[in-house]
Structure 1
Amino acid sequence: MKKISVIILSYKQEQFIEKAIRGVYTQKGNHPIELIICDDCSPDKTDEVIQKTILNAPQNITVKYFSHPQNLGSTPNFYFALKQVTGKYLSFCEGDDYWFDENKLQIQYNFLEAHPDYSMCFHNVINISPDPIINNTPFSKIENRDYSTLEIYNNWLVHTTSVFMKTEALQNDAVKKTLVKTDLLYFDTILYMANSLNGKIRGLAETMTAYRRHEVGLSHGINYKRDLRHNQLDQIIGDYYGNKIRESANWQIFSRSRIALSACLKNGQFILALKHLKWILKKKGNLKIYLIKKIK
């Protein structure tokens, strides 16, 4: 059996990290697993929980634990983890999320082994939230079919916990040219799209992992300063892929900054408003599209 690498990134997740790790421990199939855990200098007891939990790892799992003495930030921590990967395949679980299907890795392993023309597969994920309206709802609706790069970019479809990919994609041109900035936001989207250079991408209808949605999450709530980083990500993606993806990226940047500009002016955040105005002027070609949509 080929080795599977699993990356778990953690920061201030003492309440959740043990469940994330044990979701990997319970996987059936007896694959050789390289479990890479990178804690980004958590100020709470995350490190203590990790140290205790990795003491009883199953025999088929080799744990590579890195506890950073200084906080790197989410993106540099991710880049660091990717450099530790030595497996044929790669999967992920954020420190506050978890896998609950013990056959997850086996199902995805079997698919990629049986379909060498595919580079990645992903599946349905359930939301876990204190909000009863969100709790136990699907993260997105994934069907048993192929997904295009444009679909993955335009729609928030692929959750980190669901990804299973060939690690050869880490060496392709898209990764080398787009995963370059240390302050990128939603850096995982770039990685998922990059797999399209190595093969097709498949969605699986099974629901096998959980996404915790809470206030400390990276994507929680409205944050117009964070939106500037999102614009930077979209710019890099649009520049690399071009064509329809570039058109979509330009529109998303324009729309996001238009909304942010209005809100920042109302809130008296004039410096932040100016930064968004600069993005709007860069994408001013979308103004005509916006006006036509508004009239309709």
Structure 2
Amino acid sequence: MKHPKVSVCIPTYNHEQFIRQTLDGVLMQKTDFEIEIVIGDDASTDNAPAIIREYAEQYPHLFNAFLHEENQGPKEPKEFAGRNNVLMLLKACKGDYVALCEGDDYWTDPLKLQKQFDFMEANKGYMICHHNMKVIYEDKSPEHFFNEPDQKIHSTIKDILEDRWFIATASTFYRNYFRNHDFADWHSRAAAGDWAMVIQLAARGDIHYIPETMGVYRKHRGGLSNIQSVTNVGFLKNRKQMFMDVNEWLDYAYDATVKETLSRYDEQIEA
């Protein structure tokens, strides 16, 4: 394969029901640049590895597949499940950009990657580009959009430090900073790995939002979002510590903003 411009990074675990839809959403992308699919199955106990192997054999020029025979962990705490697989995959991405899509989500717009690539190529001051997603539920709860109609087109690290999460993981498209740089030392201690990654990127450039719905975010019992929730005090304490670590890492450049965020975590933890 030629040097890929975009790496599609897909961490997956026990996604037998969903992984074909995920991969088909990637393979339907129409681009004028080379892509690679970097996928890591974290020792699934269902038939997902066989499905991934089938696709990798059919498209060997696109796939860099890691089919782990043992779960990469860590096993505890449960909020960190899948962390090692994800970090390994991010480092394996060779592209100038990385597009994330977990193995239970999928893309619906065949021009998604091209649209994000074109924006980032034309706007070098941005590190992240994201878009809206439809959120669907296994339990048939009402569907809705991930982003609100008033979602800002242009955001900065300050928006993230205000504890606003407006970037759906499967919409994330970023400059591959981690290809040549290590993760911050506090990253490994943060349960919310997507927050940790976005903070490090947003510290080096801005965030652009495309107000189009180009994918589906699936909420189900096996998803990490059910563990990483506001009802989990352990997770709240970990999130508070992350913001404290980030404040120091940023040399307290956003100290007032972070302190307001920390006070809200104190209220939730003590409730």
Verify same fold: TM over 0.5: yes
Matched, 1:253 2:265: yes
| Secondary structure of 2:265's aligned partner | helix
Q: CA deviation at 1:28?
A: 0.3
Which of 14, 18, 21 aligns to 1:19? It is: 21
Query: What's 2:220 paired with?
Result: 214
Q: Is the 8 A contact 1:234 1:253 kept in 2?
A: no
Matched, 1:152 2:154: no
CA deviation vs aligned residue, 1:64-118 (integer Å, no higher than 9, x gap)? 1111222123111111111101111111000101111100000000001111121
Output the amino acid matched with 1:10.
Answer: T
- Percent of pairs with identical residues: 28
CA deviation vs aligned residue, 1:52-72 (integer Å, no higher than 9, x gap)? 222323x8x521111122212
CA deviation vs aligned residue, 1:128-160 (integer Å, no higher than 9, x gap)? 11344432x111226462102121342121111
Q: Which has the higher contact order (CA 8 A, sep 6+)?
A: 2
Q: CA deviation at 1:9?
A: 0.3
Q: Is the 8 A contact 2:8 2:35 kept in 1?
A: yes
Q: CA deviation at 1:119?
A: 1.6
Q: Is the 8 A contact 2:157 2:206 kept in 1?
A: no
| Secondary structure of 1:211's aligned partner | strand
Query: What's 1:121 paired with?
Result: 129
In 2, Cα distance between the equivalents of 1:170 and 1:248? 33
Per residue, is there more helix in 1 or in 2?
Answer: 1
| Secondary structure of 2:170's aligned partner | helix
**Cα pair distance change 1:43/1:228, threshold 3 Å:** farther
Q: CA deviation at 1:122?
A: 0.7
Query: What's 2:171 paired with?
Result: 162
CA deviation vs aligned residue, 1:224-274 (integer Å, no higher than 9, x gap)? 344343344333333323313421342243123213xxxxxxxxxxxxxxx
Q: Is the 8 A contact 1:94 1:160 kept in 2?
A: yes
Query: What's 2:207 paired with?
Result: 201
In 1, Cα distance between the equivalents of 2:185 and 2:257? 16
Query: What's 2:77 paired with?
Result: none
TM-score w.r.t. the length of structure 2 is 0.84
Query: What RMSD in Å do the two structures reach over aligned CA positions?
Result: 2.3
Query: What's 1:107 paired with?
Result: 115
**Cα pair distance change 1:197/1:69, threshold 3 Å:** same
In 2, Cα distance between the equivalents of 1:179 and 1:80? 13
Which of 40, 43, 67 aligns to 1:41? It is: 43
Query: What's 1:51 paired with?
Result: 53
Output the amino acid matched with 2:93.
Answer: V
Unaligned runs of 5+ in 1: 260-296
| Secondary structure of 1:239's aligned partner | helix
Q: Is the 8 A contact 1:144 1:204 kept in 2?
A: no
CA deviation vs aligned residue, 1:19-39 (integer Å, no higher than 9, x gap)? 111111010014211211011
Over alpha carbons, which structure has the higher Rg?
A: 1
Query: What's 2:94 paired with?
Result: 86
